[in-house]
Amino acid sequence: MKFSEALKNIRLKYDSGSAKKAWLEWKRSGLSINYSYYMKIENGDVLPSIEIVNQLKRVLSKEESLILVQAYSSELFPELRSVFNLNKKKTMSSPPPAPKKSSKKNQTINQYVLTESQVSLLASQKNLYFIFLTLILARKPILLSELQFISEREDYRQKLEKLNMTISDKNGIRMINSEIKFPPRSPRLSSAYDQFEKWENEFAQEYQFHRDFKKRIFRRISAQYLDVITQQLNMLIDLIKLSEESDDGLNDNVILLDISLENGSIPG
């Protein structure tokens, strides 16, 4: 099923069946595109970006979101259609719940951009950054005692409170918002980001990640193919983002993908 068909089928399940009414409700809940562009998506004239797909997911039920993500993934990677179970029959509730209304509760799922002071605090200590990464990836509250890389003498509660991004209770610590975005690299943050890159490899070692794939290759290629390869790598990143959000109950594995594509000229 194409993405446009999946989106239209979901929209038609609503009581009115009106594209404009559904778009208005979704726009109030955070959809950023105008009605004209929405209709281009529904008519199959354009395939939206991953950001727009995620915005749509947030205003739909979990079941509808999964159908939409599967259709989007299959259009990005048609040769992997079977991976996304598109031939498996799905049943949607009839009728599904109305589009989610805009509220403070819904707004908390919006992406949160870290401040420079928060980035600097995270870069001040490796274990603090490890705790941050663990909490971002966690699906439930975590007790600090569960983290083996923290010694009994260390207490990170105060530092976590300074970050102003966590909630603590008897069940443990969790992030207020798991949709975290780092600010763009700048001269002031460059050293912090370099430190994070080093620590992220150590983070994988701490949790004993095993390597599934490693490849290094030198090739002469044309500028045209360089552009194609870059686009394919961006599509791969989009696929990873989608796979994380398709079904939280199945996200048992954590991956670290470190891609570096470099090009230049040599004699000959």
Rounded to whole angstroms, the Cα distance separating 111 from 5 reads 28
How would DSSP label each residue in 95-126? SPPPPPPP-HHHHTTS-EEPPHHHHHHHTT-H
Instruction: Write out pLDDT tens, residues 71-130.
Output: 888 887 776 666 555 444 444 444 444 444 444 333 334 568 999 999 999 999 999 999
Transcribe 176-207 into DSSP letters: S-S-EEPPPP-TTTHHHHHHHHHHHHHHHHHT
Looking at residue 142, the DSSP 8-state letter turns out to be B
pLDDT at 186: 93
Which has the closest alpha carbon to 20: 7, 1, 31, 36?
36
Phi, then psi, of 198 in degrees rounded to 5: -65, -45
Does residue 83 lie in a domain region? yes
Of the three residues 63, 87, 106, the one that is the final residue of a domain is 106
pLDDT of 103 reads: 40
Secondary structure of residue 145 in the 3-state scheme: helix
User: Are residues 144 and 173 part of one domain?
Assistant: yes
For residue 187, what are the domain limits? 112-206
What is residue 131's predicted lDDT score, i.e. its pLDDT? 94
Count: domains in the chain: 2
